[in-house]
Amino acid sequence: MRVLLSEWLRTKRTAIRWFIFGLPVFLAGCTVVYLTLSPGSTQDFAFEGFFTIWSGIMIPVSVGILGGAVIREEELAGNFNGFLSFGVSRAKIFLGKFMLVVICTFVCTLLAAMILGCGMNLFVPCGADMKVFLLAAVFTSIGAVPLLVLHLWISLAWGWGASIGLSFGGLLMAVIFGTTSLGASVWKFIPWTWPVKLGLLPGTVYIQPADGNFRTLVNQAAETGITALSAVFIALVLLLSTGILWFAKWEGRRPGE
């Protein structure tokens, strides 16, 4: 806990806090304005549109920026010298960084969902079911957790630029394989699609029972959820354990790397 608190205090004079709290206010606020100016907007339209953009575009880019920024601060503060000589075990340091970016991701996503839901309930006639929106935020954040480990690792090994570059590649994979039929058979092997698949699951409540495919769609959603959560768990265990073992032997980057 002390390591995590220390990591949070280090973000005090950085752009990280502005990013965490500013991004959801901006995007959710713009969405509410758009829905207010669009007569006939429905909850399912708002839900699908917002969480497709958030999980398919904002999450891939954000985890790259956030993971890179957390490590970049250590690099600027003496090229990792203080970071590596800190009197705490390497495992605790790595886990402290990891927990920081996980909490930041959850806070950012939940804040976006709350602002959107409250804004819709205040200004959009169709309103919003806060439970559905908040559940989608939690599922989206869970799907992003393995990506956070991966980007911390990439940032340590090759720097902030590599992390951001990978995030844009991830954005393309999330959009192509996570939101279209092209990824029907391969999405489970692509981590950037997991936030999309999990984040849109709560939208199943908007399926009408009168729909002829209702049972099939619900069964498909349940299967998708189980598959995605299993993939997240397996990837998290593998990435986190190997990342900690690698970091325990890491001695920093050489000049020019």
Phi, psi (deg, nearest 5) at residue 9: -65, -30
Q: What is the mean pLDDT of residues 192-207?
A: 93
Question: Residue 167 in contact with residue 151, Cβ under 8 Å?
Answer: yes
Q: What is the structure's pLDDT at 234?
A: 98
Q: Higher confidence at residue 160 or residue 201?
A: 201
Whole-structure pTM value: 0.92
What is the per-residue pLDDT for 55?
Answer: 96
What are 117-156's pLDDT values in tens digits? 999 999 999 999 999 999 999 999 999 999 999 999 999 9
pLDDT digits (tens, 9 = 90+) for 160-186: 899 999 999 999 999 999 999 898 899
Q: Could you tell me the pLDDT band of residue 217, with boundaries at 50, 70 and 90? A: confident
* Beta-carbon contacts of residue 212 (< 8 Å; ≥ 6 apart): none
Contact call for residues 58 and 108 (beta carbons, < 8 A): no
- As a whole number, the mean pLDDT across the chain is 89
DSSP 57-122: IIHHHHHHHHHHHHHHHHHHTTTTHHHHHSSS-HHHHHHHHHHHHHHHHHHHHHHHHHHHHHHHHH
Confidence check: pLDDT of 251 > 90: no
Q: Is residue 232 within 8 Å of 213, Cβ to Cβ?
A: no
